[in-house]
Amino acid sequence: MASDPERKSVIMAVGGGKGGVGKSFIMASLGMSLARQGRVVMIDGDLGGANLHNFLGISRPASSLTDFFERKVPLVDLVASSGIDNLGLLTGMVGTIGGESIKHAQKMKLFSQIRKLDADYILIDLGAGTHFNTIDTLLLADKMIIVITPEIVSIENMYNFLRNLYFRRLGSVLSGHGYRELVVNTWRDRDTLGIGNFRELVDCLKAISPEVKVIIEAELRDFVVNLVLNKARTNHDIITGNSVKSICIKFFGVNALYSGYVEHDELVSRSANQRTPYLTSYPASRCARAIERLTLNILSGEQVKVTR
C-alpha cells in the first residue's frame, strides 16, 4: 500500500498487562469489522508471540517485522494480504531480536513508517507487559484500547499497566517542556507530600506552578483509554467493566470509556484452531453483534449502557 499524503489514518492499538485476555481476538475482529468501512492495515506487534494471523484464518506470512528491523525493508513492502477484502496484515517478529532489544532510533523509524501507511485504519496488536517499547507504541495510537477479563488478576494487571502508561505519558509531556525529573521526583517524595494515587500526583504537579498546570491540562486533554471487557459470562461480569472504568477515573483522573464487552464463546477457540475467522464462521452470533457495537462505540466515543 503506497503512502497517500492526503489520507489521515486512525491508529488504534490494543494492549493490557496480562496475557490470555483475548487481545488478539478482539483486534482481529475489530479489523474485520472496520474493513467493511475502509482500508485497514493490522500490525501484530506482539514481538514475543505473534499469533494475530491465527484469528484471521491464515498461515503466518513469509515476511514480518523481522525484515524491517534486520533487513531494513520498508514497512509498506511487508504488508501481506489477509485474504479478506480491504484488510492487510503485517505480522510480528520471528527472528532473534526481541522487543526489549529495539533501539530508540529503530522505534522512531517504525513509528514514522506506521503513520505513512496508506489506510483508513491502522490497528496494532501489542504483547502483554509494560516494557517501555510496548507502552510507547500504545501511546502512538489515536484510540488506546485496553482489554480485560472479569477476573481480579486481570483487573490488577490492568491497573499496573495503566499506571505505567500514564506515568510514561506524563513524564514525556513534562520532559518536553523542560521539566525532565519533575514527575519522578514528585512521585519519589509521595509519602512526604501526602500523595496516595496518580490523581493526587497530577493535582500536586498542577499546584507547583501555573505553567505546569497549563501544560498538563493541554497535553493530557486527549488522553483517553477505551476499556473492553472480554469473556463476560454473567450480567455481573458486564457490570464489572463499569466498575473498572470508575477505578480509572477515581485513582488516575483519566478519561476512561467503557467501550464494550464481548461474551464468552467456546467457538472462538474452535475457529482459531480450525483457522477460520470467527466473524466469517458465526456472523449472526451474539459475540459477532457485540463486536459490531464495540467497533461503533470506539469510533464514536459512545459507551456501554449498563443496567443492573
In tens, the pLDDT along 145-184 reads 999 999 999 999 999 999 999 999 999 999 999 998 999 9
pLDDT at 62: 82
> Using CA atoms, how far apart are residues 262 and 240, in angstroms rounded to an integer?
13
Q: Return the pLDDT at 1.
A: 45
Tell me which of 195 and 133 has the higher pLDDT: 195
Class of residue 97 by CB neighbours under 10 A (exposed 0-12, middle 13-18, buried 19+) = middle
Q: Which residue has the higher pLDDT, 38 or 7?
A: 38
Q: In percent, how much of the chain has pLDDT > 90? A: 64
Q: Quick one: average pLDDT of 9-31?
A: 89
Instruction: Evaluate whether 121 touches 39 at the Cβ level (below 8 Å).
Output: yes
pLDDT digits (tens, 9 = 90+) for 198-213: 899 999 999 999 999 9
Residues 6+ apart with CB under 8 A from 163: 198, 252
Provide the residue ranges of all domains of the chain, joining segments of one domain with +.
Answer: 10-153+223-300, 166-219
- Given a cut of 70, whether residue 5 has pLDDT beyond it is no
257-293 tens-digit pLDDT: 999 999 999 999 888 888 889 999 999 999 999 999 9
Band (pLDDT 50/70/90 cuts) for residue 61 is confident
The pLDDT, as a whole number, for residue 2 is: 45
User: What is the 8-class DSSP label of residue 116?
Assistant: T
Nearest CA to 33 among 130, 147, 123? 123
Q: Report domain 10-153+223-300's class.
A: alpha beta
Percent of the chain with pLDDT over 70: 93
